[in-house]
Structure 1
Amino acid sequence: MRQDLELSAFTRQRAAQAVRRQDFGLAARRAALARLGAAVRAREAQIIAALQADFGKPAAETVLTEILPVLQEISHANRHLARWMRPRRVRPALAAFGTSAQLRPEPKGVCLIIAPWNYPLNLALSPLVSCLAAGNSAIVKPSELTPATSALIADLVAEVFAPDLVTVIEGDKTVAERLLALPFDHIFFTGSPEVGRLVMAAGAKVLASVTLELGGKSPCLIGPGADLERAARWVVFGKFTNAGQTCVAPDHVFVHSAVAAPFKAALRAAIARAYPAGLASPDLADVISPRHAQRLSGLLGEALAQGARIVAGGGMRGRRIAPTVIEALTPDCGLDREEIFGPILPLIAYDDLGAVIARINARPKPLALYVFERDRALVERVIAETSSGAVGVNLTLLHSAHPNLPFGGVNGSGIGATHGEAGFRDFSHDKAVLRNRLSPAPLLFAPYGTRMRRLLGWMQRLV
């Protein structure tokens, strides 16, 4: 039976866990990561072809957003892994006087990584880097919506790793459901908030820790003092890369009324510069499936029927949608309510910054928030008065590629963090170790009497 595959893979990794704790030290982890990096480099042409087959992703965009991030994670981890693995001393405290304390990171154990379809290679292998760096084993479940990339990941992993260290299991959501029923030590999931709730519930049943990389409607704000040409180029890059199918893409743009007209002109120019052939542009990816394309077409049609206006784009051919900018949305339309996750960008004019901040705060906390403005006081106000996984100032997306910044959301946009040391910590348990050197604690042991009361009085005065 198919479900025996998931159980046997899990059982194999669980059985190898005791040996792995002894043998999978710094040198072994570095070697595993080096093998993974070499395999990704060797298969670059195959990776490009797989992503082209799955959703028409341009070769340069595949290298930029899929291959380079994985290689950077591997390089960064190998460079810093010795320090991350080192036990960290903890400052002494009155209650533990005469002792020494440290935090010692240890592997959580057998981990499950459920990857999404929008960056199918990057978001499967980058968490795997953190997982292996922390000394764990992993079962990786790629997305069934990108079958060519999923098959390539399975083949690559089978070539590089023993199955008791890393195994790839392909399949649809029923496979994911069977995997989630197993008692993993940690679950790493990237996807929608709706599915994230199901993953968290599954983890709760077996008391597994979880990392949830979710999404939401990441707002972008254009202030009255913004450099409009620069802002437009960054917004076009952030929104239309990967056909807008990016969890930290600007979902909608609040633009100050005083600069709304010139910003629209700057957006049109930036789109024409990036995608001069429009729908025929070789640098434009497709929407992942006909169903997703129909959803986006329906949202756009609904908005237009309710009085919205197209500022740029609007064309559609098959699974390809032209970079589209729209304005004059009604508050109850789907483009305003739902995470768009496609190449459609609503513009919302504003005059009162406080009202914009209130509107952002009235919704679930976003994975990212972007603000374009030269006035530092305005930028600081937006940062201080809103909550989000990250803030990008005068840029988009780039924070997600910074290896020294944790990447993650807050509440509805995610739990935990990944990348670099943050990813290593998320896949590790900090074991507390306290050693007795010359502790006076026995003075506080029973029987309690006058001496004890005096000692407690002295301690209360010190704390």
Structure 2
Amino acid sequence: MASISDVYAAQRSFFDSGATRSYAFRKAQLKKLKTTLKKHETAILEALQADLAKHPLEAFSSEVGLLFDEIDHTLTNLREWMRPQAVSSPLMHYPSASKIYREPKGLTLLIGPWNYPFQLLINPLIGAIAAGNCAILKPSELAPQTEAIIQKVIKDAFDPAFVAVVTGEGHIVIPEIMQFRFDHIFFTGSIPVGRKILEMAAPHLTPVTLELGGKSPCIVDKGADIKTAAKRIIWGKCWNAGQTCIAPDYILVHESVMSNLIEEMKAAITRFFGEDVSLSKDYPRIINEKRFDQLTSYLQQGTIVAGGQTDRSNKYIAPTILTNVSFDAAIMKDEIFGPILPVIPYNAAEEAIKMIAKNPYPLSLYIFSNSRRTEKTFIDKVAFGGGCINNTLVHFTNADLPFGGIGYSGMGRYHGRSSFDEFTHFKGVMKTATWLDVPVKYPPFKNKLKLAKLLMR
């Protein structure tokens, strides 16, 4: 295998040659990626089954099908996105015309997580390719079967001088590779690691996209459709066994409907996975024993009203609902990232907003309500990355919606046009004709101030 320095040098040379810039090249590479994904689709689903016990339907929906949609959306719009954009010019500089040219940034480093180990690495790659960049991918070593299939897919689809994969322990490989200067870094993972990525990028002044996480609240008001809310919350929480950065982290429910919501959520768990969830082939497992141990430590921090069963040998934790949870407990300070769901009552919207402020800047916010006033209150008064009204998770699937965090939950955004823009340099150029040269800007300035004010207002 070539060294990191060799791969970096080859990509720098390839990018500098201008080969990645044309629309035809970018289009061809996106099509090649789609063809290769289809070729390896079964192996990808098998790898996700091995690493996270994901049912093929869940794996396809969240890790492969989304990529097909993203590629198709990008191919449909890429030519338009690449076009220079004409903008207005100040009268002071007449006769001038201004344009924004969209150019690739150069060499990109994409660092993926373990929870959606395929999709969350390949999705930003689509944006990097569409924008005309080269890319080095670092998959998570915590999902080894998926790491292996990523290597096969990328090797099959691309010359390593264009797109390459590096593997190994993240705490060793990432500092080594970040000694080199990249033109953009895209990281998906935890807040503590995100801080380290930003620190390592700072000496090179490399722009960084951070897709992090946080505690995403789910609001259920007294006028919500409780049965539907319960079903959609449990679906969102149990997808990938809660190991989702945008999973509902905790519920704030109006006290008048709390007991009803809990009963409906219990019913939804049984409806989805049967009386004994451990026997369901539709319910994933925790990634490893370290995460299992962290999650089970939360079970003592409230009253278990549903679930609570665990099996360390099988990395199984049942969907669990907790009540009587204190905001001072670790479970309400850490991002849970598992199938444990605290339910906390509130009486008024302002009270719920104050509760959310204890864990500011969530990546997602979910509002279950039939009141537009309630929707507006939470949208206006809570800073969050994105979210849903009367649903969970699904905003992530819309390529026309930018996806990204704010504050502690991240910086930058991607999906669709936003991905293209994130990996693109916007070069502003003003062109001035020579047939007229307005003298007001040139010295001497005597008696010109009044005219300059008129031109610049």
Q: Which category of TM-score, normalised to the shorter sequence, fits these structures?
A: over 0.9
Q: Which amino acid in the other structure matches residue 166 of structure 1?
A: V
- Alpha-carbon separation, structure 1, partners of 2:3 and 2:306: 49
Quote the offset at 1:442 in angstroms: 4.9
Aligned to 2:159: 162
Aligned to 2:42: 45
- Alpha-carbon separation, structure 2, partners of 1:343 and 1:61: 16
Please point out which of 316, 328, 332 is paired with 1:332: 328
- Alpha-carbon separation, structure 2, partners of 1:109 and 1:158: 20
Are residues 57 and 452 of structure 1, via their aligned partners in 2, closer, same or farther at CA, if it must alter by over 3 Å? same
Aligned to 1:424: 420
Aligned to 2:279: 280
- Alpha-carbon separation, structure 2, partners of 1:388 and 1:23: 35
Give the share of equivalent positions with the same residue, in percent: 37
Q: Which amino acid in the other structure matches residue 83 of structure 2?
A: R
Aligned to 2:299: 300
Quote the offset at 1:202 in angstroms: 1.4
Please point out which of 394, 397, 400 is paired with 2:393: 397
Q: Which amino acid in the other structure matches residue 41 of structure 1?
A: K
Aligned to 1:55: 52
The DSSP-based 3-state class of the residue aligned with 1:250 is coil
Q: Which amino acid in the other structure matches residue 179 of structure 1?
A: I
- In structure 2, stretches of 5+ residues that fail to align are none
The DSSP-based 3-state class of the residue aligned with 1:135 is coil
Q: Which amino acid in the other structure matches residue 437 of structure 1?
A: A
- Alpha-carbon separation, structure 2, partners of 1:454 and 1:25: 48
Please point out which of 310, 315, 326 is paired with 1:316: 310
Is residue 443–residue 452 contact of structure 1 (8 Å, CA) maintained in 2? no
Quote the offset at 1:207 in angstroms: 0.9
Aligned to 1:121: 118
Quote the offset at 1:439 in angstroms: 7.9
Is residue 96–residue 439 contact of structure 1 (8 Å, CA) maintained in 2? no
Aligned to 1:36: 33
Name the count of aligned residue pairs: 453
Quote the offset at 1:457 in angstroms: 4.0
Runs of 4+ in structure 1 over 6 Å off: none
Please point out which of 99, 108, 122 is paired with 2:105: 108
Please point out which of 176, 179, 188 is paired with 1:178: 176
Cα deviation code 1:178-224 (max 9, x no counterpart): 11221000000000111111111111110111111010000000000
Please point out which of 130, 137, 142 is paired with 1:145: 142
The yes-or-no answer on 1:378 pairing with 2:393 is no
Is residue 330–residue 336 contact of structure 1 (8 Å, CA) maintained in 2? yes
The DSSP-based 3-state class of the residue aligned with 2:210 is strand
- Alpha-carbon separation, structure 2, partners of 1:327 and 1:49: 37
Quote the offset at 1:94 in angstroms: 2.6
Is residue 312–residue 326 contact of structure 1 (8 Å, CA) maintained in 2? yes
Q: Which amino acid in the other structure matches residue 288 of structure 2?
A: S
Q: How does 1:200-239 map to 2 (within 5 A)?
A: 200-239=198-237
Is residue 239–residue 249 contact of structure 1 (8 Å, CA) maintained in 2? yes
Cα deviation code 1:388-442 (max 9, x no counterpart): 0013100000000100000000111111101000000000000111111258665
- Alpha-carbon separation, structure 2, partners of 1:96 and 1:193: 46
Cα deviation code 1:320-361 (max 9, x no counterpart): 111111110122211111100000000001112101112213
Is residue 198–residue 208 contact of structure 2 (8 Å, CA) maintained in 1? yes
- Alpha-carbon separation, structure 2, partners of 1:45 and 1:89: 46
- Alpha-carbon separation, structure 2, partners of 1:37 and 1:316: 39
- Alpha-carbon separation, structure 1, partners of 2:231 and 2:435: 63
Is residue 97–residue 439 contact of structure 1 (8 Å, CA) maintained in 2? no
TM-score (norm: length of structure 1): 0.95
- Alpha-carbon separation, structure 1, partners of 2:342 and 2:69: 33
Are residues 156 and 79 of structure 1, via their aligned partners in 2, closer, same or farther at CA, if it must alter by over 3 Å? same
Aligned to 1:351: 347
- Alpha-carbon separation, structure 2, partners of 1:441 and 1:358: 59
Q: Which amino acid in the other structure matches residue 396 of structure 2?
A: S
- Alpha-carbon separation, structure 1, partners of 2:194 and 2:93: 40
Please point out which of 128, 132, 137 is paired with 2:129: 132
Q: Which moved more, 1:436-445 or 1:239-248?
A: 436-445
- Alpha-carbon separation, structure 1, partners of 2:249 and 2:375: 19
